[in-house]
Structure 1
Amino acid sequence: MTAANIAIVLLAAGQSRRMGQDKLLRQLPSGERLLENRIHTILAAGSVPYVAVPNEPQKAGLVAKTSAIPVQVPGTAQGMGDSISTAIRVLPEDIAGIMILLSDLPDVTANDLRALMARFDGETILRAATEAGKPGHPVIFPARYRPQLEALSGDIGARDLLKSEPVDLHPLPGQNAVRDLDTPEDWTVWEEGVLTRPRK
């Protein structure tokens, strides 16, 4: 598959309660905000993301500075399931797959996204994993699962769907598929690793 056949939904409507502030607005060592960086990564992979954002000016403003498509999540939304269903409803009809990407996975690269899209066969759910086989994100759903995704609500997301349906795993380098930034401690450890990582 190519980026033209797959719509990418970037989930950015969370409240970052464990971080104590909106982590998507935090600045990376590169100078970008985390949300900006994730959008630019998707654009570099050849796709224009649909970004689920809350009714809040800062995130919406960041999205507006890019070519990404903002999808406003209602203030009554209860969690990830509501964000997913809201975004799915505005996607084009003529797509073969839907990639759902969490916005707090800082190590997922454009090459990772391209590799997943190339591997996707349009028939089976494809989920990113670590090199050791631990499931993570992003996940690509065949278009036939659209009704189930549109019906999601609450804070569980698509977890039940991933448990009940066949899923292929695609390993990404290192911990790219599972390293998220939920707490200030997570952020500090990750940032120190970035700053000390040898330049290629």
Structure 2
Amino acid sequence: IPIIMRTIGIYEDLEKVIIVGKYVNELLPLLMDQIVIYNPFWKEGISTSIKLGLRFFKDYDAVLVALGDMPFVTKDDVDKIINAFKPSCKAVIPTHKGEKGNPVLISKSLFGEIEKLRGDLGAKVILNKMGMEELCFVECSEGVLIDIDKKEDLMRL
């Protein structure tokens, strides 16, 4: 199965929307039972996909932003991230041995700032400027650090 299908399976119990861009023609036949939004601006970078997802869930208190190329995140990791959320957290960031990873749970209070992002900048740019007291961290598996961008990444595992 393609990596994205394995990744989607991790989030099967959650309400979700899948944002697709470059590989829309290859992915759509695999995603027939999912809510899918095509991002015509995918060439402009990940910020355009994140913003589309946040707009879809604009009435929610927080949104988990997950990447399709991270198939080793576990359901347990996802549960830990969601359960760590509290009103004082502007974001819940998973860590593994002190290193920050993904997916990140983003509070609605940051949606406006994220709307201003341009290009290939993710929410990390905003989160890195925040004080530690505004963020919550939760220890997770190594899967929160592993993304598969190229075939070589997969071969290394």
Normalising to structure 1: TM-score of the pair? Answer: 0.70
Larger radius of gyration: 1
Aligned equivalent of 2:68: 103
Match for residue 171 of structure 1 among 124, 130, 139: 139
Alignment of 1:14-163 (within 5 A): 32-43=1-12, 46-54=13-21, 56-64=24-32, 66=33, 68-75=34-41, 77-93=43-59, 95-124=60-89, 125-130=91-96, 132-163=97-128
* CA distance in 1: counterparts of 2:71 and 2:140, whole angstroms: 13
Gaps of 5+ in 2: none
Aligned partners of 1:84 and 1:152 also within 8 Å: no
Deviation at 1:104, TM superposition (A): 1.2
RMSD in angstroms over aligned alpha carbons?
Answer: 1.7
* CA distance in 2: counterparts of 1:136 and 1:148, whole angstroms: 20
* CA distance in 1: counterparts of 2:2 and 2:143, whole angstroms: 18
Deviation at 1:52, TM superposition (A): 0.8
User: Is 1:186 the counterpart of 2:149 in the alignment?
Assistant: no
* CA distance in 2: counterparts of 1:152 and 1:60, whole angstroms: 27
Gaps of 5+ in 1: 1-31, 191-200
Aligned length: 152
Normalising to structure 2: TM-score of the pair? Answer: 0.88
Query: Runs of at least 4 residues of structure 1 off by over 4 A?
Result: none
